[in-house]
Structure 1
Amino acid sequence: MARTRFLKDTGLTARMTLVMFLIGAIFVGFIAILIALSGNNGGLALVIGVVGLGVVWFQWYKSDTLAMKAMRAREVSPEEAPELHGVIDRLCALADMPKPRVAISYTDLPNAFATGRSPSRAVVCVTTGLLDRLSAEEVEAVLAHELSHVAHRDVLVMTMASSAGIVAAMATRGAQYGAIFGGNRRSDNNGAPAWLIILVVSMVTYAISFVLTRLLSRYRELCADRSGAFLTGKPSALASALTKITGEIARIPNRDLRASQSMNAFFIAPAISGASFNTLTSTHPSLEQRLEQLAKIAAELGRPMDGGFPTQPGLGL
């Protein structure tokens, strides 16, 4: 993590570290099994691993460009969005961190995200739908959450965590064409074809990696909520923002939500309507869990969760 004034959370950090260790162990074990079962084609297994890591590297290296294109966002200057830049300037000064690039996505979907391979290449993006619906303090709370992701290098963390799943998915596809792993060659004299065993192992590896990555993502969001709330000292503003965003997303047409769902892992709230997020497949913790954590932070700070801030949009463009 970069040295900033974002409050550390040793409990969440320990859980995230454990999940990352498990994902790494699964990745190493999977490659070892792949090589063993591939026999004379063990070199091909290594190629699949290297290519998979190459895909992971590309996604990390170009994460800002890919995310901006996916949301049709564009970078804005201080002259174009002075209020938005002003809020980010204040938060970066509070957090003692470099200022990221600032972008706006011109869509009615109320959301925000941060991405980039490093703090120096980071970009924080908000949608016009979010700016039109939230108050100035709510927007500040959302931006503090996103800047926490930048400070904690969460794009790097989540990209690394996805590596086992990506390689397993590639091996699964290859195993479906049994010839890649030796056609009908059997793993032993009486065993099943090697490609079938690899297919099963790949699918199990992908499933475990998928669940662990989702678990890590939920920890990451809770950590960003906590860090952002302590930075601003206004957990009630973030609670109000999350409640509004989740409620407004439910009103967005499903067709528009589907167009943005590839960005769910980056969003402050997933673009899903009418679904429970408290599941193994969710990238985010449930709204109830997030509000409960923010209520505890408010109690720690001695501040009530009953509002006390403007409800009208303050940074609409």
Structure 2
Amino acid sequence: MRSLLMMLGLCVLVLSPFPVAVSERCHPQDKKVLLRFKKELNNPYFLASWDPKEDCCDWYCVKCDDRNNRIYEVFLVSSFPDPNVTGQIPPSVGDLPYLEYLDFHKLPNLVGPIPTTITKLTKLKSLSITYTGLSGSIPEFLGQIKTLEYIALSFNSLSGSIPSSLSQLPNLGSLQLDRNKLTGPIPASFGSFKKPGPDLKLSHNQLSGTLPPSLGNLDPDNIDLSRNNLVGDASFLFGSKKKTQVLDLSRNAFSFDLSPVTFPKKTLIWFDINHNKIYGSLPVALTKVENLQQLNVSYNPQLKGQIPQGGELHRFDKYSFFHTKLCGSPLPPCPK
């Protein structure tokens, strides 16, 4: 009798004409914020899946944490430039308290500055705003978000100087500010980054002045300062005990003696100093670099002497050494 009653109860549940409410995973406050976020971007088709009738954990361009069902990632990323996302970065993004990753990519009509409300994101690890119409200066307040590990603001229209406050980020592993309109020097405070220091990608700007010698205390994997207006000494960036993989100083006005410089034997794969005022001779230590794939010392008219032979140097043609006073293979022989 008891089992019969249980079966009848199950049938009532299955056959009932009334819908059974299914609870959403998405936190209602996060859903409210995301809908406001969408409205602030003028309701682009890009976010058509953000339907208030649907569970926001199932929407495109967001991710929910399975442990607490809170939004931890927002990524408005297009594979080609999408002009339909318009306006400024919504200030409401600061009302997603569990957000760890924020990414805008190839949205040319996303304009204006970075909103101050972003400082409310006390869990934010990654901030990536690339190939957009972002303008204004890089805000000092980014230095307040101590959880940041990755900053990419490449291919925008940012201007002004690089804020020294970024050196206050204890966990920063990569700083990518290339292809903007940044001016002024690299902050002296950057030498105080927690070792090994972040990868620095600052190329294609209008940075000027000398490098702070304290940068030599750091040991990031990648340093790209190319295509700026930097001058003076950069020899302290080198060293046999460093783990540098990429060092690109090309198209600046650096001036220092290359002769005594040493290199990481195991890690260095890219070394480019073309179009500078670097002088001296090529160090024999270059022949000891085991995995060198890119070498360009051209257009340094005061570089002179014989090109060392050995190691990976045989891989590079004359264009790697062009417009210098160097001699020997692959250039013409040195005069006797």
TM range (shorter): under 0.3
If asked which structure has higher relative contact order (CA below 8 Å, sep 6+), I would say: 1
Question: TM-score if structure 1 supplies the norm length?
Answer: 0.24
Structure richer in helix, relative to its length: 1
Question: TM-score if structure 2 supplies the norm length?
Answer: 0.23
Larger Rg: 2
